[in-house]
Structure formats: structure tokens, C-alpha cells
Amino acid sequence: MRYSSETVERAIHELSKLPGIGRKSAQRHVFYLLKVSEEEVNALAQSLIDLKIKVRHCSICFNITEQDPCPICTGETRSRSIICVVEEANDVVALEKTGEYKGLYHVLGGVLSPLDGIGPDDLHIKELLARVDKSVQEIIIATNPSTEGEATAFYLAKLLKPFNVKITRIARGIPVGADLEYADEVTLSRALEGRVII
């Protein structure tokens, strides 16, 4: 269904470009925005514009940041001997939330995915290799345990081998709180492979 107002149509069109937002949801959002105050709509619009003005990628680790280098790369309490390699900036947030990890990060900006035309040159792999000097003792490869994530981990491990650094991969196994009965076979065999002495 189309609206007589071109402005409404354009807002619906722009909103439905967002991931997971179809025309129906975009319509709901537009009708919501037509009802709220002008200040609220402007605050939303400005916050989106600011994303592109203020937020950039850290020139060292490619995490999102407002200052370059980012607070993690410059953090005095962070251990410089360990780098955790992740796919996206959200992964950094998830890992930081655990409060367990005190090293540095390196955000690849995606995973190798030949079907989508994403090769090594499209990820920040060269920049990772450039970071590996004598001060680095361990590199944790924390890409997702998906097909692409595993392939990327394997590729990185091969590339990093000559650097004489400890290369580790995050453990894959049964999630805490989950049930063995419902775990898929691949996860279960990974959990067996990765078993530890108690």
C-alpha cells in the first residue's frame, strides 16, 4: 500500500533498508514518528548522523571508537602480550562483558566467505600480521564457530605459524546451562575433543 505523501513514502523506503525491517515495520515506525514530538525525531536523526561523524575505527585494532587509538589499545591496565582476534566490534563488547579478558583485540571486519566474494584482502589481516612483534606472546582466534569462522581461524593460524607465537582457539563445546540431549553432534564431538582434566 502506498501513501499519498512522498515524504512518508521516502521515510518508509529508507527505514526498510535497515536489517530485519520490512515495509510493514517501517510503516509502523513512521506512524510512530509522526505522532511523537519534533524534538524526539530530531534527536533520533541527529544520533544517526553523529554515528558517521564521531564514530570511527581504531587504527590499531579496528574496533569502533570515538578516539583513535581506542581506549583498549591505549589502556594502561591491558596486557600487550596477548591479542584476541574477533570478527566484528560487537564481539569485543561481548568479550569485555565477561570481565575475564585483559589483553588487546583485533577486529577482522568479517570472515572469509568466498561465496560472498570476501577474501583475505577484504579483512584486516595484513594489519594483524603487522602487529605481531616480540612483545606478543599469544594470539587467541575468537571467530565464530560457524563454517566461515572456522575456515578463517584455520587460515589465520597457518599465516601466523611463522611468527613463533602461541596460537589458541576459543573452546567449542556445550554451552553452560544447555542439555547434552539437545546438543548437535558436531558440538558434542568438539566438547569431547576439548575435554579437560578436573
Q: Which 92-121 positions form the footprint of a copy of itself (CB under 8 A)?
A: 93-94, 96-97
Classify strands 82-86 and 104-107 as parallel, antiparallel or unpaired: parallel
Q: Rule CB under 8 A: which of 26-55 touch a copy of itself? A: 27-34, 38, 40-52, 54-55
**Cell triple for residue 81?**
602480550
Q: Which CB sits closer to a copy of itself, 2 or 195?
A: 2
DSSP state of 61: T
SS3 assignment, position 6: helix
Query: Least distance in Å: CB of 45 to a copy of itself?
Result: 4
Q: For residue 195, how many other CB atoms are within 10 A of its CB?
A: 8
> To 5 degrees, how large is the angle CA 113–CA 102–CA 178?
60
Q: Which is nearer to a copy of itself, 71 or 119 (CB)?
A: 71
Q: Per rule CB under 8 A, is residue 5 in the interface with a copy of itself?
A: yes
- Laid out side by side, the sheet with 82-86 consists of 104-107, 82-86, 138-141, 166-169
Q: How far is the CB of 190 from a copy of itself (least distance, A)?
A: 25
Which residues contribute to the site for a copy of itself (CB under 8 A)?
1-8, 10-11, 13-15, 17-21, 25, 27-34, 38, 40-52, 54-55, 64-66, 70-72, 88-90, 93-94, 96-97
